[in-house]
Amino acid sequence: MARINLLPWREQLREERKQRFLVALGAVLALGAVTVFLGDQYLKSAIENQQARNDFVRKEIAVLDARIKEISELKTRRQQLLERMKIIQDLQGNRPIIGRVFDQLVRTLPDGVFFTGLKMSGKNIAIIGAAESNNRVSNLMRNLDASEWLMAPNLTEVKAVTAGAIDQANVFQLTVQQTQPGSEEQVGKPGAANSAAANQGAAK
């Protein structure tokens, strides 16, 4: 006699499969949640590490900027000191030359002429003075041109003064350049060769 299974085995099998599916689904969800959590933690840690590195780099950049500023200030001070040293050296080196130039200005001054103003800018000397006549001014120009320490005199203005202003009759303005005996300008100066020959003859 054949046996007939009257139990609802299809429903039980369906339930077992459903339970296994739910268990597998739960495991997958749990694994996904754990993976997402771990990934989130890893990303947070990486971001924090990168932020820490960025902060460190910013601090180092700030330190370098401060050092660069200090170096720039030191360079500026060094340049200022070098300029001051150059000025001092120039003054020390030009001290005897200035004395010579003033001595030549006095020696080239003819009678009846005197200076009322003198301004020196580099090698250019601007002179303001008064003279009894134009001939006195001409003598001054010839004396300046003949000097070994002065060259290229240029008369810029001569005018007669009003009566009663000063005793002299003419006021003049001129410019002259300072030079040195033996320099290129002095060698190229008209009459310099004659002066040099005369000096050599006197030395012999």
**Integer Cα distance of 109 and 111 in angstroms:** 7
Task: Identify which has the larger pLDDT, 165 or 49.
Answer: 49
Residue 184 backbone class (left: φ over 0; alpha: ψ -120 to 50; beta: rest):
alpha
Burial class (CB in 10 A: 0-12, 13-18, 19+), 129: buried
The answer to whether the beta carbons of residues 151 and 179 sit under 8 Å apart is yes
Residue 193 has pLDDT above 60, yes or no: no
Residue 190 has pLDDT above 50, yes or no: yes
Task: Identify which has the larger pLDDT, 202 or 182.
Answer: 182
Q: What angle do CA 93, 129, 142 make, to 5 degrees?
A: 75
pLDDT score recorded for residue 185:
54
- Up-side HSE of residue 119: CA atoms within 13 Å toward CB? 7
- Span 119-156, pLDDT tens digits: 888 788 899 988 888 888 888 888 888 888 888 888 88
Closest CA to 183 of 164, 201, 170, 196: 196
Residues 6+ apart with CB under 8 A from 156: 173, 174, 175
pLDDT band at 109 (very low <50, low <70, confident <90, very high): confident
Mean pLDDT computed over 80-99:
78
Residue 204 has pLDDT above 50, yes or no: no
Read out DSSP for 134-191? Answer: HHHHHHHHHHHHH-SSEEEEEEEEEEEPPTTT-SSSEEEEEEEEE--TTSHHHHTSTT
Mean pLDDT computed over 20-30:
91
pTM above 0.75, yes or no: no
The β-bridge partners of 124 are: 121, 177
Residues 6+ apart with CB under 8 A from 97: 149, 178, 180
Residue 73 has pLDDT above 70, yes or no: yes
Residue 94 has pLDDT above 50, yes or no: yes
Mean pLDDT computed over 154-160:
85
pLDDT score recorded for residue 195:
41
pLDDT band at 115 (very low <50, low <70, confident <90, very high): confident
Task: Identify which has the larger pLDDT, 64 or 90.
Answer: 64
pLDDT band at 196 (very low <50, low <70, confident <90, very high): very low
Which region among 26-35, 36-45, 110-119, 185-194 has the lowest average model confidence (pLDDT)?
185-194
**Integer Cα distance of 174 and 138 in angstroms:** 11
Read out DSSP for 84-131? Answer: HHHHHHHHHHHHHHHHHHHHHHHHT--TTEEEEEEEEETTEEEEEEEE
